[in-house]
Amino acid sequence: MKLLLWLIAIFTAAVAVTMLAGVNDGYALFVVPPYRLDISLNALIIMIITAFIIVYGLFRLTFSALELPKQVKAYHRKRNQEAARTAMLDALEAFFEGRYNRAEREASKMFDLEEDPRGKALAALLAARSAHIVRDFDKRDHHLSQAGIADQHVRLARYITQAELLADQRETTAALDALEEAKSIAPKLTNALRLELKIRQQRGEPEAVLRILEQLQKSDAIDTATAQTIRLASHLHILKHEPMNARSLREWWSRLDKHDRLQPRLAAAAARKLLQLGDIELATDVLINALEQDWDTELIELFGNLHHNHPQGNDNLLKLIQQAESWLPQHPKDAALLLTLGRLCHAQQLWGKAQSYLEASLAVSPSVVAHIELAQLLEHIGKHEQAAQHFKKSLSHALVDIVD
């Protein structure tokens, strides 16, 4: 349609010019002494138009020739950009398909073709991550260095990627150095905090883990269940590995959140540590508080072993028995509680009560420990035949447990 309109316009113009030429009988006179030139006005107009077209064409041809190198360069640049975009798409597709060797090759190709420094740096980071996954650490480090040279505006992305890859390789010191660089650019970056949390866990640094965990919780960057699990593991690590005396352990325990102190695993570990250090009073309180909050078999078994720390006839031992008996209405069929009461009464030389509790524990759930405890009690009060029967039963249960 456009071509047809142009043709109509050209023919219309030609007809108009012809009609005007037919009615125009003027002439032009050029005098350059001693010469004189007469020429038709129509011919002059045609000559002027022709000359204009020729001069204009020469100028266009000259300028086109001068612009040719730029046009060739622009053509090559456009072709390279298209090739770089294709390489980028191929690299991303290969990466998400799990074809990491190809992803590294295509990302390297994109790095070579791309002219934008930011694009080059991102291509190098993709190549570095792909090389890391296939455990080619030399190539990974080469690509990371290329990313740093290519563009300083993606320094944060480079440092975060470097820290993450080094942490995965368990090069924790170098990973922390990279994270420090990242934090200097973005101090409150959540992803950097999460990564540092992971590294500190790898290094076994519970105090640092707890500090970072608090920051993440303030910004709602970690769910409550995960935070509780990590906090519990950190507290257990401190109890196991940090040197503490009875006083420092008391101070540390008092600084903990009440909810943490009532965790059964942590309470059990703290009670054991306190008993080792001779702080029987706090160990007892720890166990009682935790048991009243959350009933746990391990805790009640530990409570039943407290008699080893109290001499016979001691008032504290009687208080332990009273405390354990106060739990019976809520847990009348708990074999561990009945065993604990039997042990405590045995230690207090309450033979009848001890035998009743131990027999009740066996009636609920027979166990090797309960049979041995009852056998020792019967042996002590002179019932040797019954004691022998329980020793045999304990052996039978032990053999069954071994087979299972």
CA pair distance 316, 260, nearest whole angstrom? 27
Q: Is 32 helix (H, G, I), strand (E, B) or coil?
A: strand
Domains located in the chain, CATH noted: 333-404 (1.25.40.10)
- CB of 337 closer than 8 Å to CB of 302: no
Q: Are the C-beta atoms of 209 and 229 separated by less than 8 Å?
A: no
Tens digits of per-residue pLDDT, 67-120?
777 777 766 778 878 888 998 999 999 999 999 999 999 999 998 888 888 888
Evaluated on CA atoms 226, 228, 234, 237, the torsion sign reads negative
Which residue in this structure is represented by tokens 């002027």? 48
Tokens for 72?
A: 């060739």
Do the Cβ atoms of 185 and 159 come closer than 8 Å?
yes
Length of the chain: 404
Task: Read off the amino acid at residue 151.
Answer: D
239's enclosing H/E stretch is helix 224-241
N-terminal to C-terminal alpha carbon distance within the chain: 91
pLDDT 10s digit of each residue in the chain, 404 long?
Answer: 677 776 776 667 666 666 655 555 666 666 677 777 677 766 767 777 788 888 888 888 887 777 777 777 766 778 878 888 998 999 999 999 999 999 999 999 998 888 888 888 899 999 999 999 999 999 999 999 888 876 677 888 999 999 999 999 999 999 999 999 998 888 888 899 999 999 999 999 999 999 999 988 888 888 989 999 999 999 999 999 989 998 999 999 999 998 999 999 999 999 999 988 888 889 999 999 999 998 998 999 898 888 776 655 567 888 898 999 999 999 989 999 998 999 888 888 888 888 888 889 888 888 888 888 888 888 888 887 887 887 787 777 666 555 45
Which residues are paired to 31 by β-bridges? 36
For residue 253, give the 3-state DSSP assignment.
helix
